[in-house]
Structure 1
Amino acid sequence: MSLPTGDDEAARGAGGFAVHPELLFAFHTGKLGLGFDVGYRWRSHHPADLPWGDEVTLGPWLSVALTNALTLRIEAYAANVVDANVSGADFPVEALAGLDYAIGNWDLYLGASRGITDGLGDPAFRILGGVRYRHDAPRRQGFEDSDRDGIADKDDDCRNDGEDEDGFQDGDGCPEPDNDEDGIPDAQDECPELTGDRAHDGCPAKTYVKIEGGKVYIFGKVQFGLGASNIDRRSEPLLDQIGEALTANPDVGQLRIDGYTDNVGDPKFNRRLSEERAASVRAALIKRGVDGDRLTTRGFGEASPIAPNKSPAGRAKNRRVEFIITGDRK
């Protein structure tokens, strides 16, 4: 029911009483809700000079629960004047979007809308807000549900905390703030279903090394200082994993570390630089617990490029260190 607080002729509210009963059809699954409303608006006052009167109203809507308390709602609204000679283009059609925030039995809502057609009463733009009160539904005998999460208290391990319905252990009635149990709350976890660490935002550390079929595969690149043999700090995680992999796989015997450069500069200098870089990698792996007797080094300078040296990208690929298994462990 609405009260006569507006002006019919200016299309701002109603100049008379109005009653608007509706039938609501809704379906909810998890965090998603779908629905359709159809109703009839009776007006006590019909302006004589406007094709305005009683209306049939209808509108589909979609809701998404963003949290246990906050819900996004998107809907469309249309109205058709009954027994009026009005063309279809004059029917008001409006699109609305807003947020509902639940506090106990109260809902606060705020939204905005704009007209889609040029129908009578269609707004160019409007903002709406309000407060709603929802009375608790009567509890059915044998289905007590204190936290109103749809799981009966007798089956609910957390009767006062609603289930989070995130697809992980949703049947126990408890919210799981850390699905992968890695100590990082799901709200802050970039990989909530995979055990990780804080250094990688809750995701597993990237795998740089794989030993398979007697071969060492390196998914990364050892970085050095410009024109120098000192290892850049960015390569520490890669060297850590190479050291761990070699220590954990003693069946991988003798390993040769080959150094290469691009073709920029003096060839003799490049060869010496490649030898020094290979030696730096060997020293770094020994520091990480790898037996030095398993490791040998060679420097090839600018020989055997794997990409054309005509571009910066190609030269970057050629500045590399390779790991070659040369035989069984002595």
Structure 2
Amino acid sequence: MRSSSVAAAASAAVLVTLASASRGQSTGGFSLDRFEPAPAGDVFFGVPSPAAPGHLEPRVHAMLDYAYRPIHSGGDTPIDLVSSQAFLRLDASLALWDRLLLSVDAPLAVSQGGDDPGIPGVEFTELAAPELGDLRFGARVRLLGRDAGPFQLGLGGYLFVPTGSPAQYTGDAEARGAFHASLGGRLGTARSSLGFLWNASGGVDFGGGPNQPQQATFGGAAALLFGGDLLQLGAEVYAAAPLGDELLLSSTPVQREDASVNAELLLGAKLRVLGGLTFGAAVGPGLTNAIGTPPVRAVGMVGWAPLPAPAPERAQASAVAGDKDDDGIDDHIDACPDVKGDPSPDPAKDGCPPADRDGDAVLDIDDACPSTPGARSAEPTENGCPDDSDDDGFHDGIDACPSVRGGPSDDPKKVGCPGDADGDGIADASDACPKLKGPASKNPKQNGCPDDPDGDGVRGAADACPNERGHSDPDPRQNGCPKFVRVSADEITTSRPVQFVVYGKTRTQTVDPVSDEILVEVRDAIQQNPDIELVEVQGHTDDSGTEGYNLRLSQQRAEAVLSWLVAAGVPREKLVARGYGFEQPLGDNRVKTGRQKNRRVQFMIIKRKGQP
């Protein structure tokens, strides 16, 4: 087994012999460049796509392909028989009927060079530029899938015309052909911020003369798209494997070399602006040490290719091209040209949706419930659907409660069922606690409520006030109820007045701690009734003193209570303080008991949810 350096040196010697022989014989030399660019407009640099988008839409690009040391030998004295080779390629393609793509590639070697290996008896042919390469003509047809869809299948081929120079390693001695199949697709639309592209191909090359062996070709590529089609970042691998153990590099004189695989990796980016102006660059290493595989290859390009149209525009373009329903099947073979369908080996069903998936004798095209068997109906929204026993608008096939009228739900297990916000199985209409999950109860006030919904420690039916936090009491009518506070429709009433402490002659008021127990229950009442959105804390006085004095006094007391409640946890936006002075008396100010009744603080509910 020879080492890689010995093999490389031997290869170099063989190629020099070929180059020398080519001066007097037509059998020496061959096309060295193993990079075959994809047709103009394809998404990747070297791996061909299966797509053929558009009709009469041209695409062009100019590409510079640079290979560093495509033929070199190792050893103590490295030899670069071909130290570099750069091709300028002018490519164009034309799409027809959204199905066929015709292309041409015109390569020109603009720079190449190499070293004389100094082998005795072998005349070295100096490499020159510019030199024409082999002109390539291509054709590709998309067999399956739609343009810019997630999966496409295409079949293509190339014809290489021997316009290049075998002696200069820019062309083959005879015409060469190549066929390949391509798979590929796209995830994400032209409007998506992130998309994904993939391609894979495989084929065979043949012809080109005795120095160009037949070979199997294959490749794969993947890329991410950012900002629709603005920026593409990806990687691609392409390779060629000789079909045989040895290569016949020359027939006169006979020169053979061990078969080896050419393989390269490219990491590239493309930027698309102004509707299709494309700039691209890629670089990557050779993955093998075969003849024609450089240690490094760099590619740069600029071109024009129309960007994929949004879905509605693609559908319109497909209709013009003869595919009105945009299902990828041309109208002339589509048995249902106006309805998107699937391919079928039966010509009578090709391009049609599944005829009758639920087997109810109502074709899917007319079936309002195509996956659920039902009866035929003159009403289009009910045709082919099961009965609707409870007449709630949800047929029995999807109605989770077919005998009880209900409403819509995102949960299939609740479609057509009465509302049950807490999911405890008790309809909201009879649930005493519709937002708290609880068991059923014969007591309407406890039905659907947890054991202790107000969290006061008094559970179940023993709680006379199950939705108000209270205290244990030997009186069953008071057990679990607040001691001092009750909530009505428009007021939180207290059974004892709030008292204040008066400091000195300044008459500055603050809440007396003896009233803390009362205000705690006021706070709990507000927190346990989330529908209460605004409470007015009212301050009132008797008629002792002037009107201005009593207004200030009542306002100060209302604000003192408001501050206490905010400090205790009531949101500030739920409270407003207002003093009324002696404007709204409850008792007779001429007697002591009346004046005591008039000196008070009240908590009026002035706004609930749903109320103006």
Tell me, yes or no, whether TM beats 0.5: no
Q: Scaled by the length of structure 2, what TM-score is found?
A: 0.20
Q: Scaled by the length of structure 1, what TM-score is found?
A: 0.37
Bigger Rg, structure 1 or 2 = 2
